[in-house]
Structure 1
């Protein structure tokens, strides 16, 4: 029988489900900001839209709305340090970017140097959702990287994308006399 849930039990349950990890960068009045995101997903191909969630009290939240643009860095297994670094909410802009090699694009958005593929995007909407906002952004350009496989976060740790699992067909279900299996 299902029981009522709260944020803690939901988080505990969802820890078993891998989430893609990206770093989203933007700026606030010319100061670079970055945040590690574990809620990244594709939304639409036409137009090319992706989404991610940001806590409303995160310093990047209002900066994303004000700047209206961002870069989404698809990290690989050699870039876990970026994921850990930008997950720290207590770092100022200077503390975030002092140890990180980056350039800025024509809009002032920081682009992390390294092996990550980068999606250059414009914010289309920020929908309030509980203590977060769901950002929907349109991908305007891509800096590709061959063989960028991405990383995931599951069971409190980062993992490289593993080997492909083969699928098998489901076996037919034998229905009982009451219609349940």
Structure 2
């Protein structure tokens, strides 16, 4: 069976949306109990809980989003205060022609404006040996000296040892509720032929084990 084994990531370790960014990251370890009087939430055989999202269901909604396991990326850019990094699990490919990718980050992140306005950025797909890097850039946008990297012509840090890297120019940025969706046009790709990806599922980092 597929399995994830790893360490629990608490909200205090996260910046912006998610240990990684995106609404599916753990914000709390609280156990949410639906109010008995709320008729729209009901237990059924196929599911443990069914509810209509609303102001009092942020915790279970976040937990439900977190049921979707993902890979983990670190996005890097150059900013007015120097190079910045951001851990995100909201990365997705969008289009082959033209080559487009997207990711999202919380509007309340202190790094939001730097990334939303960045003309150039690089998205790094992490290996299962890079959980420390993911945790670092989830909590702190700086501190690149800890990790081997190069600097490209636009000043963007290019981290070493990742499974894949997508160098991008800003294509578009769209407001989406309490997040911003950032679209990048891929100008260069770097990949490794072997290696396993870092996975993130229900607040834990780990690695995928196939059937």
Normalised by the length of structure 2, the TM-score is 0.70
Q: Does 1:4 align with 2:55?
A: no
Greater relative contact order (Cα 8 A, min sep 6): structure 1 or 2? 2
Query: Whose helix fraction is larger, Structure 1's or Structure 2's?
Result: 1
Give the C-alpha shift of residue 92 in structure 1. Answer: 5.6
Q: Give distance in 1, aligned partners of 2:208 and 2:101.
A: 20
Task: Give 1:30 deviation, angstroms.
Answer: 6.1
SS of corresponding position for 1:98 = helix
Confirm or deny that 1:108 pairs with 2:158.
Answer: no
Q: Post-superposition shift, 1:60?
A: 2.9
Q: 1:43 aligns with which of 94, 99, 104?
A: 94
Cα deviation 1:32-82 (Å, max 9, x = unaligned):
100100111111111111111111222332112333111100111111111
Q: TM-score, normalised by structure 1?
A: 0.80
More strand by share: 1
- Number of residue-to-residue matches in the alignment: 160
Gaps of 5+ in 1: 166-181
Greater CA radius of gyration, 1 or 2? 1
Tell me which residue corresponds to 2:107: 56
**Cα RMSD (Å):** 1.8
Gaps of 5+ in 2: 1-41, 43-49
CA distance change for structure 1 residues 107 and 152 in 2, over 3 Å: closer, same or farther? same
Contact 1:27 1:110 in 2 (8 A): yes
